[in-house]
Amino acid sequence: MSKVHFDTIALIGIGLIGSSLARVIKREGLAGHIVISTRSESTLARAEELGLGDSYALDSAEAVKNADLVIISVPVGSSGAIARQIAGSLKPGAIVTDVGSTKGSVIAQMQPELPAHVHFIPGHPLAGTEYSGPDAGFAELFANRWCILTPLEGTDPVAIDRLTKFWEACGSRLDTMDPVHHDRVLAIVSHLPHLIAYNIVGTASDLEEVTNSEVIKYSASGFRDFTRLAASDPTMWRDVCLHNKEAILEMLARFSEDLASLQRSVRWGDGDALFDLFTRTRAVRRGIIDAGQEVDAPDFGRQQASHPTK
């Protein structure tokens, strides 16, 4: 595979995704110059301390002036505002993409703002952790993870190919989807699990008879794994809920129906139904491991404590 190279890449937003991109772009030599922009002075200063870019700008319009590739890594609710800010400074032929978890809303916000002389190719790398900020990023974040592009009709295939090669050079596996289909798929595989996690952890914290010390003390059980999702960035997930509302509500309704069925099985002692469900869901976990999207290790791959030999 021939490696793609851009003279200048502008990263708008330098949180987990943006800072991981900065690191992998440098490691792989994908750009001659990296410009980093974020509206927070302290965050920009930290990015500079970490040496994530070659130049830095609080003004996103200034940052994109010479960029051949512009990657917008901000909460999806801010996509339209960023597009308005940079529209007049984008050079002809530049590729503009994003990393947002909702595509229909991002397209509706950004497409009307961007000039016809750039290639707007919405994207979504399916990679992340519960951490945020420029210190949270690492070059391996995208390794063997899917990145979905949702190109609009009439998009230049050469531009799509260049962006595809860029993400492949970052370690990603590429796929393309219709934006509406993307939002429905992500509603079930990402958005709904996060909402369930937020709700379960919130329920536990609301139970007055369970003290905080008990929640933490016994979190080696399943509760602990929900807290990882529930620790995700609040701004990002607020925007996801507001900007993929229809798909999320559809999946919540389906989940509620299935939860009611599970409740009946428990209430009536239907052991066969419970066993069938648990067997089917266990197979899903095996499928994820076989697809290379998870490690087949005890305790969800967590570092095991070493025990001295007695």
Q: Identify the pLDDT of residue 310.
A: 33
Token pair 């900065």 is found at 22
Angle of helix 245-267 relative to helix 179-186, nearest 10 degrees, comes to: 30
Convert the pLDDT of each residue in 32-85 to its tens digit.
999 999 999 999 999 999 999 999 999 999 999 999 999 999 999 999 999 999
Q: Where in the chain are the domains?
A: 6-177, 181-294
Amino acid at 100: G
The class of domain 6-177 in CATH terms is alpha beta
**Contact between 53 and 23 (Cβ < 8 Å):** no
| pTM summary value | 0.85
Contacts for 62 with CB less than 8 Å, ≥ 6 apart: 37, 89
Tell whether the torsion through CA atoms of 176, 177, 179 and 184 is positive or negative. negative
Three-state DSSP class for residue 118? coil
**Contact between 67 and 10 (Cβ < 8 Å):** yes
Taking the C-alpha atoms of residue 40 and residue 165, their distance in angstroms, rounded to an integer, is 31
Q: Which CATH architecture does the domain made up of 181-294 adopt?
A: Orthogonal Bundle (1.10)
Q: Identify the pLDDT of residue 218.
A: 79
Token pair 């790398």 is found at 125
Convert the pLDDT of each residue in 77-114 to its tens digit.
999 999 999 999 999 999 999 999 999 999 999 999 99
What percent of the chain clears pLDDT 90, i.e. is strictly above it? 74
Q: Identify the pLDDT of residue 214.
A: 77
Mean pLDDT value of segment 123-151 = 92
Q: Distance of CA 41 to CAs 33, 64, 75, 81, Å?
A: 21, 18, 18, 18
Mean pLDDT value of segment 167-194 = 94
What percent of the chain clears pLDDT 70, i.e. is strictly above it? 92
Convert the pLDDT of each residue in 286-299 to its tens digit.
887 777 766 555 55
